[in-house]
C-alpha cells in the first residue's frame, strides 16, 4: 500500500483528483450536493484526458468491389482506446485502369487477372506484415507511419528487382547453352542504297512513347493503409479529415480560413471509338464561376445537364445542325448524319456518353444549351476539355489523329489550340493537350496560351512518387498537375508535393481514378491540401455523387464556422525560353509573375 501511495503521489494523482472535484463547481466537502451520476460522469470525462493515447492494435485488409465492379482493397483500423479494442474507421482504395477503350478481349482478361493478383497481395500485406509493423504506433504520428510504409515498399521493390535479375541471368544461361555459336557477319563496307521512289512516312521524327510506370503487385496496401491511418487520427482527435490534413500540411498550425476547390464536373464523355469522327475530346467539363457558392454552381450545372439531355434526345435535326442553320456553318453541317443513338448511356465517369463529328459542332451545342436556359458561356459558366492526346498519336505517321482521317503534327497541334482558345475564350482549361514526350511543344503552348488558359498534365504527368523524388523526370512544363491517390501514394507524399507546387505558383488538381469507390476521403484531401480544382466526374453514379455531397457538406460547415474563403482564378504567364527538343524540362520551374 505504501508503494502504491508513493506511486500515485509521484504521478500527481491526488492533485488531479482535487482539480476534478473542484472543477465540478463546488469545494470538495460540498460535492455530495451534486447528483451522484453527474458527479461520477464528470469525473470520468475529466480524468479521461490523462489516459494513454490510443494506439493501433490491429489492421484488417479485405477484398471488396469498386464502382465499376473491379476488385480493390479496403483497410480497417482498430485502436486500443482506454484499454479496449475499438474499430475506428476504414477506407476503400480506388482503382486506376490504363486499359484503352479498344482493348482486345484477351488484353482485358489479362488485366483482370493481374488486378486480382494485385489486390490479393495487398490484402496479404495488410493482414500480415503491416499489421505487425504498425502495432502500438499512435495513428496521429502520420510522418512516422508513412516513413515505415515507404521503407517497407522500397524493400519490396528491391526484392522484386533481385528476383528479376536472377531469373534473367538463369534464362540467359539456358539460352547460351542451347544456342550454337555462329560467326558474326562482316560489317557493311558502304551505305545501304535507298529504294527508288520510296519516301519516309514520318516527316519529322517524334520522341517514342515512354514506357508506362511499373506498378508493384500489392502496392495498394501502402496507399490504403496511409489514408486509413489519417482518417483514424482525425476520428480520434474529433476533427474532420480535411482539417487534420490541413494541420499536417501547416505543422499543426490551424488555418484561419480555407478555400474549397472548384469542381470540374464532367458533362459529356466523348468516346474515341464511337462511330462519330471527333477524337480530340475525351471529356467536356463544366467549371462554375468563383462568385457562386458550390451549391449554386452544382444547381446551375444540373440545369445545363438537363437541357443538354433534352437537346440530344430531341427528334429531327441534331443540335449541331440546329445551331449551324443560324450560323455560318450551314453549308458544312447541312448534310451530316444524326448523332449516334447511345446518348442515354451513362459512362463510368457518371455522365452522358456521346459523339460528334467535329469540335466546333460540340461547342455550338454547349452554347445552345446554355442560351436556352438564360446562361452565357464565359460569364455564367466555363468549360474545360480533357483531350487525352496520348490516345491520339499515330506512330506510323508521327502525327495526332484529331478526326477520323485527319492528322496533325505536334507543332500543328499547338497552332490549332491557339486558334481554338481565341475563337472560344470560355474554354479555360485543357487537360493533356499533348503527349508528355512532346516537351518542346508543351513549352510552346504554355508560352502562347498560359495567360489565357490552364494547361494541365494528367496522363502527361508521372506518378506522385517520381514527381516527389525527381522533379525533372518525364513531366513537361505546364500550369498544373492532376494528382491521383492510387497505389503506393501516401498522405505525406501529397502534402510534400502540393507544398512544392504551391511555392512555385503551380495549381494542384485532385482527380478521381476511373474505378472510383464510395469512399469520399478524396474530397477531404483536396480541401485540406488547398487544391485549386477537384475532378470527380459527372453528377451521376453513387460513387461520384457521394463525393459531391461531401464537398457540399464541407462548404456548409466552413460557412457556418465563418472560415470559408472565396476561390480565385489566376492564370500563369510563362517566360519564353529556348530549349533543346529532346531534353526534359522542369514541371516545377517557377513561371514569370503576372
Q: What backbone torsions phi and psi does residue 386 show, to the nearest 5 degrees?
A: -95, 110
Q: Quick one: pLDDT at residue 183?
A: 57
Q: Quick one: pLDDT at residue 38?
A: 53
Instruction: Please say if the pLDDT value at position 594 is more than 50.
Output: no
Residues of the chain with pLDDT > 70: what percent? 78
Give yes or no for a contact between 186 and 88, defined as CB atoms under 8 angstroms apart. no
Give yes or no for a contact between 384 and 455, defined as CB atoms under 8 angstroms apart. no
Give yes or no for a contact between 451 and 573, defined as CB atoms under 8 angstroms apart. yes
| pLDDT tens digits for range 457-502 | 998 787 777 777 666 555 678 999 999 998 899 999 999 999 888 8
Query: pTM score, two decimals?
Result: 0.83
Beta strands 533-537 and 262-270 are parallel
Taking residue 48's Cβ as centre, other Cβ atoms within 10 Å add up to 10
Instruction: Please say if the pLDDT value at position 332 is more than 70.
Output: no
Q: Quick one: pLDDT at residue 579?
A: 44
| pLDDT tens digits for range 50-93 | 678 899 999 999 999 988 888 999 999 999 998 899 999 999 99
Between 560 and 175, residue with greater pLDDT? 560
What are the extents of the domains in the chain?
1-25+36-45, 53-164+215-238, 255-312+344-561
Element (H, E) at 474: none
| Nearest in space to 490 (alpha carbons), one of 463, 451, 517, 530 | 463
Name the maximum alpha-carbon separation found in the chain. Answer: 112
Taking residue 236's Cβ as centre, other Cβ atoms within 10 Å add up to 20
Beta strands 382-386 and 283-287 are antiparallel
Based on the residue annotation, tell me whether 487 is a catalytic residue of this protein. Answer: yes
d(Cα 107, Cα 22) in Å, to the nearest integer?
72
Those residues whose C-beta lies under 8 Å from the C-beta of residue 366, and which sit 6 or more positions away, are 267, 284, 308, 377, 383
Between 550 and 23, residue with greater pLDDT? 550
Going by pLDDT thresholds of 50, 70 and 90, the confidence category of residue 444 is very high
d(Cα 572, Cα 449) in Å, to the nearest integer?
9
Instruction: Please say if the pLDDT value at position 45 is more than 80.
Output: no
d(Cα 309, Cα 369) in Å, to the nearest integer?
9
What are the distances in angstroms from CA 334 to CA 4, 160, 316, 520?
95, 60, 13, 46
Q: Which three cell numbers stand for residue 430?
A: 485543357
Q: Quick one: pLDDT at residue 167?
A: 85
At 251 the three-state DSSP class reads: coil
Q: Is the dihedral of CA 194, 198, 199, 200 positive or negative?
A: negative
d(Cα 454, Cα 384) in Å, to the nearest integer?
9
The single residue listed with the C-alpha cell 457538406 is 553
22, 45, 487, 582: which is the annotated catalytic residue? 487
Give yes or no for a contact between 514 and 95, defined as CB atoms under 8 angstroms apart. yes
Give yes or no for a contact between 483 and 497, defined as CB atoms under 8 angstroms apart. yes
Instruction: Please say if the pLDDT value at position 591 is more than 50.
Output: no
Q: Which three cell numbers stand for residue 515?
A: 474505378
Q: Quick one: pLDDT at residue 392?
A: 93
Q: Quick one: pLDDT at residue 205?
A: 80
Burial 378-409 (b: 16+ CB within 10 A, else e): eebbbbbbbbbbbbbbeeeebbbbbbeeeebb
Those residues whose C-beta lies under 8 Å from the C-beta of residue 441, and which sit 6 or more positions away, are 410, 411, 413, 414, 434
Q: Quick one: pLDDT at residue 156?
A: 95
Q: Which fold has domain 53-164+215-238?
A: Enolase-like; domain 1 (3.30.390)
d(Cα 432, Cα 461) in Å, to the nearest integer?
9
What one-character-per-residue DSSP string does 262-309 give?
EEEEEEEEE-TTSSSSB-S-SEEEEE--TTS-HHHHHHHHHHHHHHHH
d(Cα 469, Cα 461) in Å, to the nearest integer?
14
Q: Quick one: pLDDT at residue 109?
A: 86
Q: Quick one: pLDDT at residue 101?
A: 63
| Nearest in space to 533 (alpha carbons), one of 266, 154, 197, 171 | 266
d(Cα 308, Cα 21) in Å, to the nearest integer?
67
Instruction: Please say if the pLDDT value at position 15 is more than 80.
Output: no
Give yes or no for a contact between 407 and 201, defined as CB atoms under 8 angstroms apart. no
Torsion of CA 425, 430, 435, 439, to 10 degrees: 70
Q: Quick one: pLDDT at residue 376?
A: 96
The domain 255-312+344-561 is placed in CATH, from the list 3.90.190.10, 3.30.930.10, 3.30.70.520, 3.20.20.120, at 3.20.20.120
Whole-number mean pLDDT of the chain? 83
Those residues whose C-beta lies under 8 Å from the C-beta of residue 575, and which sit 6 or more positions away, are 447, 591, 592
Q: Is the dihedral of CA 544, 547, 552, 555 positive or negative?
A: negative
Amino acid at each position: 500500500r505504501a508503494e502504491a501511495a508513493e506511486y500515485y503521489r509521484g504521478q500527481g494523482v491526488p492533485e488531479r483528483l482535487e482539480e476534478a472535484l473542484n472543477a465540478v463547481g463546488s469545494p470538495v466537502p460540498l460535492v455530495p450536493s451534486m447528483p451522484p451520476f453527474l458527479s461520477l460522469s464528470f469525473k470520468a470525462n475529466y480524468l479521461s484526458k490523462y489516459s494513454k493515447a490510443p494506439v493501433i492494435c490491429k489492421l484488417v485488409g479485405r477484398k471488396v468491389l469498386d464502382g465499376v465492379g473491379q476488385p480493390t482493397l479496403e483497410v480497417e483500423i482498430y485502436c486500443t482506446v482506454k484499454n479496449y479494442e475499438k474499430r475506428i474507421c476504414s477506407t476503400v482504395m480506388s482503382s486506376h485502369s490504363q486499359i484503352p477503350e479498344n482493348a482486345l478481349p484477351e488484353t482485358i482478361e489479362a488485366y483482370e487477372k493481374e488486378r486480382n493478383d494485385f489486390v490479393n497481395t495487398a490484402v496479404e500485406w495488410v493482414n500480415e506484415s503491416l499489421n505487425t509493423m504498425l502495432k502500438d504506433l499512435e495513428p496521429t504520428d502520420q510522418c512516422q507511419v508513412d516513413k515505415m510504409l515507404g521503407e517497407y515498399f522500397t524493400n519490396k521493390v528491391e526484392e522484386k528487382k533481385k528476383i528479376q535479375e536472377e531469373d534473367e541471368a538463369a534464362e540467359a544461361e539456358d539460352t547460351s547453352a542451347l544456342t550454337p555459336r555462329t560467326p558474326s557477319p562482316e560489317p557493311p563496307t558502304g551505305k545501304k542504297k535507298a529504294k527508288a521512289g520510296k519516301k519516309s512516312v514520318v516527316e519529322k521524327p517524334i520522341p517514342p512513347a515512354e514506357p508506362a510506370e511499373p506498378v508493384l503487385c500489392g502496392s495498394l496496401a501502402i496507399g490504403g493503409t496511409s489514408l486509413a491511418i489519417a482518417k483514424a487520427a482525425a476520428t480520434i482527435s474529433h476533427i474532420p479529415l480535411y482539417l487534420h490534413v490541413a494541420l499536417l500540411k501547416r505543422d499543426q498550425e490551424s488555418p484561419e480560413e480555407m478555400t474549397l476547390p472548384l469542381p470540374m464536373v464532367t458533362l459529356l464523355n466523348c468516346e474515341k471509338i464511337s462511330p462519330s469522327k471527333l477524337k480530340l475530346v475525351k471529356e467536356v467539363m463544366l467549371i462554375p464561376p468563383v462568385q457562386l457558392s458550390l451549391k449554386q454552381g452544382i444547381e446551375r450545372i444540373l440545369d445545363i445537364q438537363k437541357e443538354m439531355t433534352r437537346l440530344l434526345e430531341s427528334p429531327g435535326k441534331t443540335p449541331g445542325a440546329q445551331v449551324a442553320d443560324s450560323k455560318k456553318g450551314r453549308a458544312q453541317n447541312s448534310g451530316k448524319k444524326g448523332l449516334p443513338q447511345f446518348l442515354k448511356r451513362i459512362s463510368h465517369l457518371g455522365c452522358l456518353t456521346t459523339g460528334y463529328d467535329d469540335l466546333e459542332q460540340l461547342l455550338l451545342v454547349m452554347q445552345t444549351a446554355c442560351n436556352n436556359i438564360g446562361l452565357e458561356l464565359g460569364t455564367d459558366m466555363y468549360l474545360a476539355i480533357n483531350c487525352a492526346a496520348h490516345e491520339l498519336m499515330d506512330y506510323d505517321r508521327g502525327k495526332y489523329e484529331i478526326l477520323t482521317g485527319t492528322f496533325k503534327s505536334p507543332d500543328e497541334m499547338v497552332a490549332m489550340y491557339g486558334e481554338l482558345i481565341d475563337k472560344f475564350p470560355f474554354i479555360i482549361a485543357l487537360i493533356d493537350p499533348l503527349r508528355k514526350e512532346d516537351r518542346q511543344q508543351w513549352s510552346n503552348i504554355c508560352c502562347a496560351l498560359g495567360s489565357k488558359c490552364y494547361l494541365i498534365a494528367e496522363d502527361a504527368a508521372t506518378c506522385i512518387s517520381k514527381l516527389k523524388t525527381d522533379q525533372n523526370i518525364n513531366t513537361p512544363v505546364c500550369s498544373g498537375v492532376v494528382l491521383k491517390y492510387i497505389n503506393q501514394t501516401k498522405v505525406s507524399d501529397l502534402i510534400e508535393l502540393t507544398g512544392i507546387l504551391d511555392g512555385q505558383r503551380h495549381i494542384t488538381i485532385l482527380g478521381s481514378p476511373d474505378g472510383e469507390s464510395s469512399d469520399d476521403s478524396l474530397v477531404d484531401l483536396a480541401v485540406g491540401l488547398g487544391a485549386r480544382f477537384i475532378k470527380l466526374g459527372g453528377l451521376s453514379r453513387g460513387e461520384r455523387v457521394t463525393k459531391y455531397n461531401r464537398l457540399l457538406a464541407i462548404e456548409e460547415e466552413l460557412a457556418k464556422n465563418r472560415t470559408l474563403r472565396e476561390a480565385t482564378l489566376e492564370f500563369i504567364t510563362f517566360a519564353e525560353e529556348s530549349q533543346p527538343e529532346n531534353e526534359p524540362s522542369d514541371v516545377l520551374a517557377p513561371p514569370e509573375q503576372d
